Amino acid sequence: MLEHQTETRAPGVLRRLRPRTRLIAARNAWRDARTRAAFRRYARRGLALEGPRPGEIPVIICMWRRPERLAPILDMLEGQVGAGTLRLYIWNNDATRDAEYRAVLAGRSAAGALAGTVVHSSRRNIGGAARFLLARAVARAGYRGPMVLIDDDEQVQDDFVARLLAAWSPRTYAGVWAWRIHGDYWNRTRAAHGEQATYVGTGGAVVDSDVLGDDDLIRQLPLKRLFLEDIWLSAFAARNGCALRAVDAPFEFTDPEGDQWHALAARKSEFFDELGRPGLLPL
């Protein structure tokens, strides 16, 4: 017969652990406050970036400690077919690696579908919400039309951007990681190509500049949920009359265990509930 055993700690051990737990919590709170302050500063002052030239499509990527991925990303975008001319905008969330990114770019020139690359490096990691700051800067530079979002750990085929653009129309948010949610956030089914979705992930998507470049997308983002920008963008787009759709465009993750998603997964359902479970769809 097996017995269930519960580990117990002496009161003295618990008393010694509590100060350390409080210290860790205090450090985390201090770090989070500085991160939110950094995002507020960027939101307030904005960025001055070179906008796409006529006929170019902006591709926006956030990078986090993956400088080795830049060369493959450039090769991937240069090789895109049927998508026209692209201009890449990178937000580097770790300025200590800035020289590594720029060294890669120094050895490259415009080639294939990629006309050029613009990089902004941040001293503090503000997560994927940095996409919104880049998009707003591109919109303020005068661009109107589709904006393409790709994650730095995605490897895509040569028609990936063309497939996204084919799914775009004004007031549309379409992407490859699209789900129909039926209640709780995790009560969901994968949306088929062209099907209406509740949620579209920010990696491998196309968004109307009037949505992604909207000041309110940044101003209304609850800063305590700063790193859940994917949930926020889907909710914001739906609230503002944007159609959310699924796109069939094959891709692979190069480092599925290395991103920040896993640490945030438990919070996604909480935030979705806080937003009122927008856009629920029937099974």
Please give the mean pLDDT across all residues of the chain: 90
Query: pLDDT tens digits, residue range 85-130?
Result: 999 999 999 999 999 999 999 989 999 999 999 999 999 999 999 9
Query: pLDDT tens digits, residue range 228-277?
Result: 999 999 999 999 999 999 999 999 988 765 555 556 778 999 999 999 99
Nearest to 197 by CA among 176, 180, 173: 180
Q: Pick 26 or 64 by higher pLDDT.
A: 64
Cα 108 from Cα 130, distance rounded (Å): 25
The domain 33-274: what is its CATH number? 3.90.550.10
H-helix or E-strand containing 252?
strand 251-253
Q: Which of the 8 DSSP states describes residue 141?
A: T
DSSP assignment string, 35-85: HHHHHHHHHHH----PPPPTTEEEEEEEESS-GGGHHHHHHHHHT--SS-E
H-helix or E-strand containing 154?
strand 154-156
The pTM of this model reads 0.89
Query: pLDDT tens digits, residue range 75-86?
Result: 999 999 999 999
State mean pLDDT over 10-30.
Answer: 63
Q: What is the pLDDT of residue 21?
A: 73
Q: Give the start-to-end residue ranges of the domains of the chain.
A: 33-274
Query: pLDDT tens digits, residue range 153-185?
Result: 999 999 999 999 999 999 999 999 999 999 999
- Residue 25 scores a pLDDT above 80: no
Q: What is the pLDDT of residue 256?
A: 60
